[in-house]
Structures are given as structure tokens and as C-alpha cells.
Amino acid sequence: MTLTPKVRIWPNTGIPGKNCGTIILTAEELGNCRDCATMQFCANKLDKKDFFGRSDPFMVFYRSNEDGTFTICHKTEVVKNTLNPIWQPFTIPVRALCNGDYDRSIKVEVYDWDRDGSHDFIGEFTTSYRELSRGQSQFNVYEVVNPKKKLKKRRYINSGTVTLLSFLVEAEHTFLDYIKAGLQIHFTVAIDFTASNGNPSQSTSLHYMNPYQMNAYAMALKAVGEIIQDYDSDKMFPALGFGAKLPPDGRVSHEFPLNGNVDNPYCNGMEGILEAYHESLKTVQLYGPTNFAPVINHVARYAAAVQDGSQYFVLLIITDGVISDMAQTKEAIVNAAKLPMSIIIVGVGQAEFDAMVELDGDDVRISSRGKLAERDIVQFVPFRDYMDRTGNHVLSMARLAKDVLAEIPDQLILYMKSRGIKPNQTPPEYSPPGLSPTSTI
């Protein structure tokens, strides 16, 4: 396969009247190869580079380009104080390694790590994907050669050897692969009915029903729901509320059906959910506290019953952001991270969302009782960041939907990979017995 590289050249004119050099950008079209290669290497008798100790070796892999240049595609970890390192296995897309051209040269350089960044060159060798794919064999033991030493020293042989210990190729499956194989995605909505939202009869309330304009809750629900409902054949969705006093006895509930039907919490499409939401505002009393853990655990119970890769669960929580049960919510999320489940949290209003950012786990993985979440399953976004300044609510909702749904495919794939589930292994459709809080997408 030959792909012609594209080259663009820009003069660097940062300082008027002075030539600041040239910026050259070389691009090459990626081949349509979705395989990933996992490999492990060790080395033997590498050159000693440190005066007071042995070397601290690491390897740098380069993909060769069509124009004869090389591009870094992987760097191993540093193994300290040894001339016989064993590096950890690593996984790399085949297109990054050779762009799907199995005979293209792959250059590997071996260095001794130095704290100041002036790493010492030990030597190099070349190989190809086709050679590596033979796996552990006599063909995959490489002499590490330092060209300068070879020129200067007549008796120079090499600076050590590198051996391929293992090589495995697997297809890199996509979200769509799992959907095509029959994976069912289930969706549940949970809406915040706590008093911090304000009295629904007053225009300052986040739940205020303006006859001419949707409130923030309705817009967030419609933005996400209208995308999701297109993947659902019957368009029947369960919808829950939390943090309200329910008639007739004023009991506080953190997982009540919006339509008032405990035996059948399903609503017909987004319009059905919006209608049930509006009716709930007329019958329940906004109260508190704001507890997320009950609705998370509610959906997690159903996710725990189906961990064979046939189904995946998504919970959308819309809230004003004043959370009361942080410790319990963290524990619920850590437990749910082991399950086929994702959580979307949309914050409405002008409250501080520091607690929500912590739950998101993008910067620091969430933990509970000293246990880290197995993976990041929470995506939080404040709706106010997506409000169009011109008042175009359609544009606001489109922006919101794009971001809140963006992480779901990767979260799903990560779960499947962690369990070794491939698309062609996905079992046929399964419906859990009894009342379910989910709807098939």
C-alpha cells in the first residue's frame, strides 16, 4: 500500500523584517487498519553508560514515512539500573506502527535514561511488522548497534541484543461493532425535585413552567433524549424523580416514577417524559435532601444482573447541583464502575458544581473507602456553559447533547475490553424479569 504524503510549508514571520525559519508539516493518510498489536521485549548485555551504576534503558519506536523520514510512535518505560531489562507489554494500533504496510521499516532506538534529559544513545535496530508478527523466535532477536562505535572500533560486534518475548494481534472494535452485533443499550432518567430548585410557581424557580419557553430541566432532557430515542424501537422510557414528598402521606422518596405508576414507570418518548415531569410538579412537594446514591444503585442492580456484554445501561441525572450524600454517591459510583453502566450528570442553574466536577473523575479517579473506581463512568456538564448567547435554544441543546453523549462509546468499549468481550460473542437479547427501570435503545 502506497500513500503519497502531503507537505505544506509556511514561512515563520513572527518578527517583522526578520527570517525566523520555516515550518514544514508533513501529513500522510492513515490506512483503514483497525488491528492492535500487543508486544513485549527484553534486552541482554546492553552497554553500561552510567559511571556509578548500570544503565537505565528505554526504547523508542519510529514508524518510517513515505518520504524516508521517521516519526515516533511509542516510547517504553525506563527500567532502572540494569543491563538486562524486561519491559512491560504495550499495545499500539497497527496503523500507528506501520500504517497497515506490513513490510514498512520500523526503527527502534535504545537509550540510557538521564535525569537531565540528555539520554545516552546505546544503539538501534530495524524490523518490520511482518517480522514481529512471527512472534518469539530466532528471527526476532536483534543486535543493538551503535553506528559510530562500529566505525571507530574494528572488533566492535554490538551493544547488546533485544528479544521479542511475545506478540499478539487483536481487532480494535468500535461502538458500532457492538451495536451491530446485537448489544442493547438501556436508558433511565432521574430528575431533581429538591427545594433548592425554588418554588415551581415562581418565575425564579428552575422548575418554573413558562408557557412560551422550556425551563432548563426540560431543555436538558429534550436535548439528550431526542438523540437517544432514535435508537429505541418502541420509544418507551422510564423516568424517575428524587428528593420530593409524595402524596398522600408526604413520604420523602429518592426514586419515584414520574408517571406515578410504580408497576410501570415507562413514558412514551420524550414527550411522555416531559408530560409526566409537568404532572409531577403539580402533585409532589419539592423537599430534599439531594441524594444521588438511591437512583444510581437502582439502575446498578439491573446492570449487575446482566454482565455478559449483551446489555449496557445509561443513567441521566439532571440536578441543580447541591448534593447531600457525597460519600454514599462516591461508593455507589465506585461499585457501578465494575458494571456495564455509565452516568451522565447535567447541572442546571447557577450553583457551584465543585462536587459534580469531583464525581466526573476526569482529572482524579474517584474513590471510596480507599478503593479506586475501576474506570471513569461519569460525565458531568453544566448546562449554562452551552447556552447560546443569542437565545437560540436549538443550538444550545445540540451542543449539550454532543458533549454529554461523547464519552459513552469509549466507556462502553473500555468495559467490554476489560471483560474480554468481543462483538461476535455478544449473546442474544435478554430482558430481565419483573419491573425494570430501563428502556431498550
Nearest residue to 381 via CA among 403, 363, 411, 409: 403
pLDDT band of 436, cuts 50, 70, 90: very low
**Does a cis peptide bond (omega within 30 degrees of 0) precede residue 147?**
no
> Is the pLDDT confidence value at 33 over 60?
yes
User: Per-residue pLDDT tens for 201-228?
Assistant: 999 999 999 988 889 899 888 888 888 7
User: Per-residue pLDDT tens for 343-402?
Assistant: 999 999 888 888 888 888 777 889 999 999 999 999 998 888 887 767 777 787 888 888
Up-side HSE of residue 338: CA atoms within 13 Å toward CB?
Answer: 11
Residue 101, phi then psi, degrees to nearest 5: -95, 100
In the prediction, which pLDDT does 337 show?
A: 96
Give the pTM: 0.71
In the prediction, which pLDDT does 440 show?
A: 44
Going by their DSSP bridges, the two strands 22-27 and 6-11 should be labelled as: antiparallel
User: Per-residue pLDDT tens for 187-201?
Assistant: 889 999 999 999 999
Residue 96, phi then psi, degrees to nearest 5: -75, -30
Nearest residue to 83 via CA among 32, 123, 137: 123
In the prediction, which pLDDT does 25 show?
A: 66
| Long-range CB contacts for residues 136-143, cutoff 8 Å, separation at least 24 | 136/163, 136/164, 136/165, 136/166, 136/167, 140/164, 140/167, 142/108
Q: What is the CA radius of gyration of the chain?
A: 28
Distance CA 43, CA 50 (A): 17
Percent of the chain past pLDDT 70, that is, above it, reads 87
